[in-house]
Chains A and B, each alone.
Chain A
Amino acid sequence: MYSVALKMLTGDRLKYFGLIAGIAFAAMLIVQQASILVGLTRQTGAFIRDTAQADLWVMDPQVRFSQDQVPLRSTVLQRVRGTDGVDWAVPLYQGFNRGHMPDGTSFTLILVGIDDATMIGAPPQMELGKFADLRRDKAIFIDGDTAATKLMMKRGGGRAIRLGDRFTINDQEVVATGAYRGRESFFWEPVIYTTYSRALTLSSSDHNTMSFVLVKIRPGQDIRAVQKNLVDRTGLKVLTNDQFIDVTADYILKATGILVNFGLAVILGVVIGSLVAGQTFYNFTLDNLRHYGALKAMGVSDGTLARMVWLQAGTVAVLGYGIGVGMGSIIGWGLRAGGLAFSMPWQIPAFAFASIISVCALAAWLSLRRVFKLEPAVVFRG
């Protein structure tokens, strides 16, 4: 009878494709919105991931996210270095500053100053030039991937900043001596790297300009224990990379309303998709109710009818899910090149699968209630 069930399902092409399209749309909506939310969430931690050489970040207790500017006293560095379990500790400057391009275009940038001696805190990969170039006079590194959009001169032909170009940060001249490849960031402002000492010079403030202390723990040391030692000794906030990523994402998602907006979109995707898919399948079963009645009259048991309906629901669920996730992935990855924050860990397709299966199971169950209640004598009513 399973072949009959599948023929019932696939025989009417229009209904069949409509059913699958409804479920595919639901799956696509769920996957896309959830993937964009995850993509945005991941982008909030881009700077921390790019600075992953350290184990711990020491910061002012008021810091709420990675780009928050609450400076530390310079004496903190020595106290951190003197803490049990610390292998090394280096300062890191990070702050929003004002720049002017050669054509006079004004822009806001995030300036990152990394330790002069060790270069710890540098971006993970260089696209053009080498790390040592940062020690040259007035040297800064720009993001090679985003320069075309974030460091575009609006006047005089409109070209992007490139290696060798000179421009100013807080009215002090700098030279682009290298281009790095960084992760896609949640923040629009271009991230420009230089040495810590130069960053202090370039930044407008002349004291208490250290944003973070990056800490590496000694081999064999327990990171939690060192973390606690640092908190006890400095009274500051000390976070691991993962903790800092979570804290940053949590703050930004809540503060900006992204979580509410995209969470709502995901919920709407599930609800609307569920209604579309569920209603379509329910209608499909109702359309076939008289045939189920005839089958009941001819001696098909309720159990067999239930398995037939489950088979139909499972078939459209799996096909619709596959097409929806496939389309969502293609569109998402396609638009990623255009800057769409799209990240699809396995949990999203799994969540979408569970949602679609649940919806179809619910629709099948509701349909089955009608089928079970159906009196086979209905077939004699013309």
Chain B
Amino acid sequence: MNSAATSAPVTSAPITSAPITSAPTTSATKTLSAISCRRLSKVYGASETAVHALRGIDLDIPLGGLSMLVGPSGCGKTTLISVLAGILDKTAGDCVVLGQDMGNLSAPQKTRWRRDQVGFVFQSFHLMPTLTAVENAAIPLLIQGVGRSKALAGAAAMLNRVGLGHRLSSLPGELSGGQQQRVAIARALVHSPRLVVCDEPTSALDHETGQQIMLLLREVANEGDRALVVVTHDSRIFEYADLIAQMDDGRVTEIRQGIAAAAPGPL
């Protein structure tokens, strides 16, 4: 991806729509890749009951942008994001994330890698209902072994940044859906990960709140040395993407960049 594509929503960038055949788009490979997959596949089960969730994915996702994985239910988006985030093992192919070949990591190494390198934003937030907003946001720092007071201070600063500085002591049940997602975003960013994966971050929110959340994620993506990967089927937020990978039946069928992503087209 070129540098112009990293500032979004992109309104004047050139439209580049390129169906994927065998190799990824060359423009993406010219910049520093956050994620690089080659012939990546994932099979659940074996023999007759085997389910081929990913069928030879070739994909490059650059640092410093917001990329989206889109497609119908069951197309493999969630499986792909799980493999990219190091919480599922691939069956075959190559997958290099942030310079790390995921196939070379043992399970404990993957756990540590996720702890240090990945931030998660979940569709249903996954906030601990008995922890306050600031305590929820501090969890990644606590996992890293940061002292409690320091972790809470860091979490408070991050919540302040996402506009929730006044709700530090609120429990998730006392927050609106949008506010809960902001807490989840603060939690995903508090330990400065270089990869942030977001699973349907707007599907549990109304349109306006969803737009606000995407603006926030867009801001995060603009900061540079970090990759945001968003799984979504909500076409109303495509405009925030620098790159959209269209998936179907376990394959990446098309990659779009810039403002082209917002166009309905053949998606």
Which of A98-106, A274-282, A290-298 participates in binding chain B? A290-298
Contact B131 A301 (CB under 8 A): no
Which of B30-38, B60-68, B139-147, B234-242 participates in binding chain A? B139-147
Contact A12 B148 (CB under 8 A): no
Contact B139 A295 (CB under 8 A): yes
Which residue of B has the minimal Cβ distance to A294?
B126
Contact B122 A299 (CB under 8 A): no
Chain A residues 215 to 229 lying within 8 A of chain B, measured CB to CB, are none
Interface size on A, residues (CB 8 A): 27
Contact A380 B142 (CB under 8 A): no
Contact with A along B69-83 (1 / 0, CB 8 A): 000000000110110
**Contact count band on B:** 20 to 34
Which residues of B sit under 8 angstroms from A382, Cβ to Cβ?
A: 123-124, 200
Contact B81 A380 (CB under 8 A): yes
Which residue of B has the minimal Cβ distance to A8?
B130
**Given A11-B130, A298-B120 in contact, is the A380-B78 Cβ separation under 8 Å?**
yes
**Given A3-B148, A377-B87, A380-B81 in contact, is the A12-B129 Cβ separation under 8 Å?**
yes
**Given A297-B114, A298-B120, A299-B111 in contact, is the A376-B87 Cβ separation under 8 Å?**
yes
Chain B residues 94 to 149 lying within 8 A of chain A, measured CB to CB, are 108, 111-116, 118, 120, 122-124, 126, 128-131, 135, 139-140, 142-144, 148
**Given A3-B148, A380-B78, A380-B82 in contact, is the A299-B118 Cβ separation under 8 Å?**
yes
Q: Is A10 an interface position by the 8 A CB rule? A: yes
Q: Is B8 an interface position by the 8 A CB rule? A: no
Q: Is B85 an interface position by the 8 A CB rule? A: yes
Q: Is B199 an interface position by the 8 A CB rule? A: yes
Contact B126 A290 (CB under 8 A): yes
Chain B residues 228 to 253 lying within 8 A of chain A, measured CB to CB, are 231
Q: Is A260 an interface position by the 8 A CB rule? A: no
Bound: A12/B142 CA distance, A: 21
**11 pairs across A/B with beta carbons < 8 Å?**
A7-B128, A8-B130, A291-B128, A297-B114, A298-B118, A299-B112, A299-B114, A377-B79, A377-B87, A380-B78, A381-B78
**Chain B residues near A (Cβ < 8 Å):** 78-79, 81-82, 85, 87-88, 108, 111-116, 118, 120, 122-124, 126, 128-131, 135, 139-140, 142-144, 148, 199-200, 231
**Chain A residues near B (Cβ < 8 Å):** 1, 3-4, 7-8, 10-12, 290-291, 293-301, 304, 375-377, 379-382
Given contacts A7-B135, A375-B88, A377-B79, 18 further A-B contacts (CB under 8 A): A1-B142, A11-B130, A12-B130, A291-B128, A294-B126, A296-B87, A296-B111, A297-B120, A298-B115, A298-B120, A299-B114, A300-B143, A301-B111, A380-B81, A380-B122, A380-B231, A382-B123, A382-B200
